[in-house]
Chain A
Amino acid sequence: GAVVSQHPSWVICKSGTSVKIECRSLDFQATTMFWYRQFPKQSLMLMATSNEGSKATYEQGVEKDKFLINHASLTLSTLTVTSAHPEDSSFYICSARDAVGLQETQYFGPGTRLLVL
């Protein structure tokens, strides 16, 4: 089946630094990828939609200058948390849309846990 990887799986950083998270579709091409944030014991909150070769579309309340998204190829999207602060600590999950034929399905990465000290 379709596999999506994320790197790193865990990151600890100091407040004020920037962190880049990669999301890759390993065996299919993904014109659209999505970035989610999940707080403990809560559901996933969509942050932004990433389209290959164009600017990301951010959900209301998500700061685009803080969460930079780049989707440079059909298999890679990156999320950079700029000037991270402790409140940015969370579980970040990406998904990639596999749009073969009419059966479009999103496949999720394993997530990246970010801890900002």
Chain B
Amino acid sequence: AQSVTQLDSHVSVSEGTPVLLRCNYSSSYSPSLFWYVQHPNKGLQLLLKYTSAATLVKGINGFEAEFKKSETSFHLTKPSAHMSDAAEYFCVVSGGSNYKLTFGKGTLLTVNP
């Protein structure tokens, strides 16, 4: 069994300040972990993924995430928020032989000018 907990349903930052979106997971397997972003009325875009290689994963648009097994965390960060980063972010875990994804409830990121 696997699950994902996104610790904040809404995060609000000012443009140019750092972004931290928190995610904890549980999995019976060695998990693959993903962050996806969804802009309003759009599908999901893959930001980055962890698949048991380097624990610090760099993604698109300046985002990165660090896999910490001891803390079962996979927090998403960005040094400087841009207005275009405003969207819903989903932390996702995959594991086992059926390739099913388990989604967190999502974190809405608001970027204020």
Contacts and interface: CB of A to CB of B under 8 A. Distances in A.
Given A43-B90, A43-B103, A44-B90, A105 B46 contact: yes
A113 B103 contact: no
Given A43-B90, A44-B90, A109 B105 contact: no
Interface in A38-55: 42-44, 46, 49
Contact of A49 (B36, B49, B100, B106): B100
A25 B109 CA distance: 29
Nearest to A102: B51
Contact of A32 (B41, B99, B104): B99
Interface residues of B, number: 21
B63 to A, nearest CB: 16
Contacts of B94: 104, 106
A110 B49 CA distance: 20
Of B32, B44, B99, the most chain A CB neighbours within 10 A belong to B44
Contacts of A7: none
Contacts of A67: none
B113 interface: no
Contacts of A58: none
Contact of A105 (B41, B49, B105, B106): B49
Size band of the A side of the interface? 20 to 34
A77 to B, nearest CB: 14
Interface of B: 32, 34, 36, 41-46, 49, 51, 90, 94, 98-101, 103-106
17 contacts: A6-B43, A34-B101, A43-B105, A44-B90, A49-B100, A95-B44, A95-B101, A97-B99, A103-B51, A104-B51, A104-B94, A104-B99, A105-B49, A107-B46, A108-B43, A108-B45, A110-B42
